[in-house]
């Protein structure tokens, strides 16, 4: 009899855990729908396996870095291809010594390499921002091709190339 009781309790635990996971997934889907850019944030949360806040923060940090590396007219083209970009930039965590909504990128701008810097060098400069978000730099690196592909789709291949070049 105790084996049956144990099995019933275990089954209830599994059902409750499954129900909680379904509720969490539904809540995240609602957060994605109400995010600054549901399509982009949906792709990023899926790839990164994180929260909407993490995906938004990673995107904002990367876009902030691009903003520091592109000419203003080039960044205008990139920003025109991303609905909700101001909210994404604001989601980037501010780092000590940096001000404004692109704090992570502003702090990184002085430490990033020259035009010949590799992608991990640029991303490594954002490591403190990623750490505040609870995202590893290697996980955040997965966001770069998603972001550039999205911008290529919405703004054209030339605009996607601008962004890709800024994130190298």
**pLDDT over threshold 90, residue 70:** yes
| 30 and 46 together in one domain | no
Q: What is the CATH number of the domain that holds 135?
A: 1.10.490
Contact 115, 166 (CB under 8 A): no
| 84 and 99 together in one domain | yes
pLDDT of res. 28: 64
| 97 and 136 together in one domain | yes
List helix spans (H) across 35-102: 38-48, 52-69, 72-80, 85-91
| 12 and 42 together in one domain | no
| 15 and 54 together in one domain | no
pLDDT of res. 33: 83
| 1 and 64 together in one domain | no
Two tokens, residue 89: 């930039």
Segment 40-45 long-range contacts (CB within 8 Å, at least 24 positions apart) = 40/82, 40/146, 40/147, 40/150, 43/146, 43/150, 44/143, 44/146, 44/147
| 42 and 7 together in one domain | no
| 117 and 139 together in one domain | yes
pLDDT tens-digit profile of 101-152?
A: 444 444 444 433 333 334 445 778 899 999 999 999 889 999 999 999 999 9
| 147 and 83 together in one domain | yes
pLDDT tens-digit profile of 56-69?
A: 999 999 999 999 99
| 17 and 43 together in one domain | no
How many domains is the chain partitioned into structurally? 2
Enclosing H/E stretch for 93: none
Torsion, Cα 127 53 61 40, to 10 degrees, reads 130
| 5 and 17 together in one domain | yes
Mean pLDDT of the chain: 79
Range of the domain at 21: 1-34
């Amino acid at each position: 009899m105790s084996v049956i009781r144990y099995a019933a309790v275990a089954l209830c635990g599994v059902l409750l855990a499954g129900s909680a996971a379904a509720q969490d997934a539904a809540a995240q889907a609602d957060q994605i729908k109400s995010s600054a850019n549901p399509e982009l944030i949906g792709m990023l949360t899926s790839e990164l396996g994180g929260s909407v806040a993490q995906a938004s923060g990673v995107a904002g940090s990367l876009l902030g870095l691009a903003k520091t590396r592109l000419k203003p007219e080039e960044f205008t083209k990139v920003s025109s291809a991303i609905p909700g970009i101001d909210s994404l930039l604001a989601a980037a965590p501010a780092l000590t010594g940096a001000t404004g909504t692109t704090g992570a990128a502003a702090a990184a701008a002085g430490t990033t390499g020259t035009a010949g810097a590799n992608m991990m060098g640029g991303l490594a400069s954002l490591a403190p921002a990623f750490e505040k978000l609870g995202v590893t730099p290697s996980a955040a690196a997965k966001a770069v091709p998603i972001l550039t592909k999205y911008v290529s789709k919405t703004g054209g291949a030339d605009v996607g190339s601008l962004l890709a070049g800024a994130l190298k």
